[in-house]
Structure 1
Amino acid sequence: MVNLYTLPTYVVVLFIGVILCLFLANSVLYYYLMPQAQFRQLGRKCLEGSSLLLLMAVATILYEVYTDSLNGIVYDEATDFWRYSTALAGTAGAVYWIHDRQAGSLWVLAASILLLPVFDDWLPGSLVLALVCLAWRLIRIFPRTYNQYQQRLTARSIQTAVDCLDEGILISWEKGEPVLVNFTMYAVMEQLVGTVVRNANIFWHLLPFCGNRPGLSMERQGRDLLFRWDSGQAWLLQRRPIRFRRQSGWQITAANVTALHRLNRELAQKNAVLEQRNEEMKDVLDGLVALQTRQTTESLRYKIHDLLGQRITILQQLLNNPNVSDYGEILPLVEDVLSDLRRDAVANPQERLDALVTTYRNLGIAVTVEGMLPADTRRAGEFVRIIREAMTNALLHGQARSIAVTFGTGRQPALVIADDGQGCPGPIQTGTGLQAMEQRVRALGGRLTLTKTPHFIITVEMGENHDPTDHRRRPKNLA
């Protein structure tokens, strides 16, 4: 320790300045680490705290040397207790978190050991080495931590994105405690119940009693509830069980179906006019109108199912995967349902396929595409819709992490979609999504085949490439 008192005053001041700079940089590093998942562990917090404590200890020692030199007093062992304490704390923090090589625990451990009084014969060399260890650790982990901080989706950014949706979203735990609610759902609560309800289960059980309010009617559509106001506004509310973070919960969505409801009413009015003007063809027209209405409603229902299913899949991935990086390409896919329906009819199929692949890859899903879309625009558009529904099912029901899409030529299957999910060991429950895919393939003159184990595979064969004697082309094995 006496060796430090032989140093010139300006050298001691220079050391103190360097230590203050390192302390400031370490504090900024602490700030960038706080919102990240890795910093939720107590051991990582202790490691960063030990690094700050070591810098404070060195600064204190040098300050004592500086003031004692000015007074002409030398205390050889005045700071030994402080040095032992900080060295012990730094060693404990480094050893506790030594399994994480990227955290730089070994450098903190080395600096802690070098500050022990047993190395006083090496002063000021041991002090310089301790500062070099701490500085080198900052140089190595600071850029990586800053990049992770910039690219990380925080809870605030997720809430902001969800608040931009025109659909109401309410995600809660099984007992009803809310996890994520957006502004649209708050507005729907106030319209239906008259106040904001803080428990999702209570809110859902209050909804059936809202149909008795003046100017408001309610209609049950299976498990869903359709509310209509006298002003013409209509909202469809749905509740589904979900699982996230290994716990059960509920997902309540509220979709504004006013435009669709208005279209249905206008269609009914036009049907009435046609019936009045063509009484002599009433039976024939009634049958045609009923068929057209059923086909139109079924088509719209399939499209809304596809789009809402994709949006809910994206939201669940955002909640479960906080390391999504490219948020700017995901937000356009969670905009207005009717806008998506209009865009879905005119957008280039290749552009929509590229957007789907990019979005799911940004969510951490490994998507591979082999081959090219058909040259026929109608067939290509239907293939893209089938791929979108298949991707949604693979994530929601199969918990898949990789999806392979293969476009065939010649006598090969026209389209094969395979995932690495859990498959379907039992009977396949044909829901809205699979019904939509089968209807689209039949409309194209093809055949849809489902392979449910060990992984889910969807095969589309068209008339020109179907040969029962050929072995089907399978995509490469998925991990």
Structure 2
Amino acid sequence: MINIYTLSRTFCISCMTVAIILFIASSLLYYFLMPQQEFRNMGRKCLEGSNLIVLLAIVTILYEVMSDGADGILYIEALNIWRYGIILVIIISTLYMIHDFHAGGQYLLIASFFLLPELDTWLPWSLLLALSCIALRLVRVFPAAYRQYREQLTARSIQAAVDFLEEGVLFSLEKGEPVLVNYVMYDVMEKLLGTVIRNANIFWHLLANWSNTEHVTMERQGQDLLFRKKNGMAWLLQRHHIQFRNQSGWQITALDVTNLDRVNRELDQKNQLLEQRNEKMKYLLNHLVDIQTQRTTEEMRYKIHDLMGQRITILQQLLNNKNTTDYGAILPLVENVLADMRRETADNPAERLDVLIRTYCGLGIDVTLTGALPADTEDAADLVSIIRESLTNALLHGKASRVSIELPLTGKRILTIRDNGIGCRGPIQPGNGLQGIERRVRKMGAALHLKGNPHFVLSVEGEDDYDSRTRH
């Protein structure tokens, strides 16, 4: 049977343009569906392929109309065989996926119905209806497929990025359901617990209630947990409460701190040894001026060489080089530090202060003095003791190389001592030295003020202004 229809060239070109646009959109839909789980079904792949075939059939029919001459007369009896074949494939694919309403197979089934040769009497309306069905399917399926594609692409990208981290990472919901876990965290679970725990809350509960064994020990560091294995490996696990996607959850991280833990333990041992030596040096430095005031110059040199020579050398090296750890290899940097001390006993506070300053200058410390001590001998002696203790602290604890001492002539401020040391980053914890200074300040009827950041500043203030004291 030969069917003859007359279609205008403008109509054919318009329909072909629409069909090509729909073909491109269907190809994009196919691309967005490929990475998704549902597209692993062969029936869904055949369904999307049938969609493209329908559009090709429509374009072919329209092309035949245009190629049959200027009169637009179409003889399509020869196309009937392959049209029936295409329709059969579409029907099989659609029926196979008819249970999946999200796939939109019913629209393709209707579109294939309008391509039956028996409905050619409806041309051009049958082609327009077929294109409309395919367009409706794209409007329904395309946005959801694109949205799922973007979400899955983001999830895959995040997972891939997290898997490259050297730290173990686990994100979970409030009740412990995992949201994101990387390979390193799975490895930590295997090493610590011997198995993978799927619930984050159970995982942390097992860690927090860990019983030390011969092979693995746990140490609490605040809210964090430090695990050490017998082979020296150490892991620091931390848990924090977080908010994401308008939900609350947990973030658990595991950091390999093997090298850092080993260094910290070595530093702790060295710090203990250094603290013991610092106490000895502090005691000797506090009594350095007293020793000088009680003996002659020759006796003082002998005493320093015998009791303090090596320790002062170590102290000087520590002040000049913070990274020094090989104390046995340090060459003497200070010799005869008290070679210029006076032979006479210095009972006068002003003389003792002068000896004290020259002594520390001999150790390589830049000490500057402005002003003068008060005329009252007892107050002057207390101020010298405060200055001596402050200089000792500046060297031992502040690692200072420059200290300024100010003794104002008038005003409430009695004494100010500043250094260029490392200061105190946290709250100032008074030790024996600062406690002794506080006692002397209270004895003078004054107030002590301390500032630890960025450099250490000590000031002594009286209750009232004074301007009548006689100064040396």
* Larger relative contact order, structure 1 or 2 (CA cutoff 8 Å, min sep 6): 1
TM-score by length of 1: 0.39
